Amino acid sequence: MKMLKSTLAVLTAATVFGISGMAQAGATLDAIQKKGFIQCGVSDGLPGFSVPDASGKILGIDADVCRAVAAAVFGDATKVKFSQLNAKERFTALQSGEIDILSRNTTWTSSRDAGMGLVFTGVTYYDGVGFLANKKLGVKSAKELDGATICIQAGTTTELNVSDYFRANNLKYTPITFDTSDESAKSLESGRCDVLTSDKSQLYAQRSKLASPNDYVVLPETISKEPLGPVVRKGDEDWFSIVKWTLFAMLNAEEAGVTSKNVLDEAKSTKNPDVARLLGADGEYGKDLKLPKDWVVKIVSQVGNYGEVFEKNLGKGTPLAIDRGLNALWNNGGIQYAPPVR
């Protein structure tokens, strides 16, 4: 009997997760509803994206994406637990089922999307790799970095991008790789490397953490495309759709002018049919996603629309002061664009 039970357990796990950690449609949402929270994988600490405050609360756009999914599923954005992961740990944590979503400044690439039993749900932030240099070097462009020692984080797309860039430009460099961005930043400060490289958003974040940020300059070049977004396990289309449409809902709310301040009023009295559908006042669009009717009201009232989340974590009022740039909506000079709720 004991044997039979454990065989059954293995068989059940195999059915739910498949041979490579894949889940069947609906299984992830069922499991999440049973345990009562979402386990969200974030970075070790990256201002603007996911960083603990003094009380241990994780702040940042990546953390807020998970809160938004919790608001959609539970009507309660606090029903999230965070796992802080370095670049090397992140994919196994998702494949093994330790986390339900990876929302950790992770670049969408073909090999990650198609070759790892995982799937990206969208783009939270359009980024690109750049360089942070000590001003003492007197360098104005990445093209002047011949012979530089460069700090890079292990297990990232950055490693390959930098090697491609230097080869293409016929420049030499010495890479020093680290497991965490804090180690890279310390090495930049101690002079062990001349330059630190990573996604540009992170260069601003890392510079803001240095003892004298003004001694360092972000060079003008952007040498790659780094679309960063949430990732889930392949094979559970229901969960994939929920995470995907949570981000779309935040973008659509911004586009429609629905904010955390006005969403409750809009839900009651809007005359705009797009807003009525988005907020569940007209139709049953939540049902298609296995979500409550007012899923978008919960997301926007508790977490905010995309623009609010961007400004709060990364925008002009923060130490990062990042422009919307590519991350502005499509009708405002950027490329953030969400299909409609209808």
Ligand X SMILES: N[C@@H](CCC(=O)N[C@@H](CS)C(=O)NCC(=O)O)C(=O)O
| Contact stretch for ligand X (CB under 6 A) within 10-18, 104-112, 217-225, 305-313 | 104-112
User: Which 8-state DSSP code applies to residue 142?
Assistant: G
User: Does the footprint of ligand X cover residue 187 (CB under 6 A)?
Assistant: no
Tell me the H-state helices in 75-178: 90-95, 110-114, 157-168
Tell me the residue nearest to ligand X as measured from the CB.
Answer: 44
Q: Is the dihedral of CA 95, 290, 72, 331 positive or negative?
A: positive
CB 151 within 8 A of CB 188: yes
Tally: H helices and E strands in the chain: 14, 14
If the CB atoms of residues 80 and 299 are measured against ligand X, the closer one turns out to be 80
Q: Is 254 in the site for ligand X (CB under 6 A)?
A: no
Amino acid symbol at 10: V
Q: Judged by CB, which is closer to ligand X: 46, or 243?
A: 46
Asked if residue 158 binds ligand X (CB under 6 A), the reply is yes
Q: Name the token pair of 291.
A: 């979500």
- Please report, as residue ranges, which positions from 267 to 306 form the binding site for ligand X (by CB under 6 A): none
Please identify, among the stretches 51-59, 137-145, 195-203, 333-341, the one whose residues bind ligand X according to the rule CB under 6 A.
Answer: 195-203
- How distant, in Å, are the alpha carbons of 25, 93, 156, 249 from that of 70? 18, 19, 28, 13
Nearer to ligand X, 206 or 302 (CB): 206
Binding-site string for ligand X from residue 38 to residue 77, where x marks contact by CB under 6 A and - marks none: -----xxxx-------------------------------
Number of residues that bind ligand X (CB under 6 A): 20
Identity at 177, one-letter amino acid code: T
Q: Which two tokens stand for residue 241?
A: 């759709």
Site for ligand X in 196-235 (CB under 6 A): 198-199, 202, 226, 228
Q: Which is nearer to ligand X, 79 or 207 (CB)?
A: 207
Cβ proximity to ligand X, 72 vs 193, nearer residue: 193
From 278, 110, 129, select the one nearest 218 (Cα to Cα). Answer: 129
Question: What is the smallest separation between the CB atom of 321 and ligand X, expressed in angstroms?
Answer: 18
Q: Which of residues 128-157 bind ligand X (CB under 6 A)?
A: 153, 156-157
Residue found under tokens 């016929």: 170
Give the rounded distance of the alpha carbon of 190 from its chain centre. Answer: 30
Of these, 28, 39, 103, 181, which contacts ligand X (CB under 6 A)?
A: 181
In the list 95, 103, 107, 318, the residue contacting ligand X (rule: CB under 6 A) is: 107
CA dihedral 65, 158, 338, 77 (to 10 degrees): 0
Could you tell me the smallest distance in angstroms from the CB atom of residue 315 to ligand X?
19
Q: Is 253 helix (H, G, I), strand (E, B) or coil?
A: helix
DSSP H helices, 256-331, are 263-269, 273-278, 285-288, 295-302, 306-314
CB of residue 295 vs ligand X: minimum separation in angstroms?
Answer: 28
User: In whole angstroms, how close is the CB of 23 to ligand X at the nearest point?
Assistant: 22
Distance (Å) of CA 262 to CA 73, 203, 309? 21, 35, 15
Closer residue to ligand X in complex, CB, 26/155: 155
Which lies closer to ligand X via its Cβ, residue 45 or residue 117?
45
Cβ contacts of 5 within 8 Å, gap of 6 or more: none
Binding site for ligand X (CB under 6 A): 43-46, 86-87, 105-107, 153, 156-158, 180-181, 198-199, 202, 226, 228
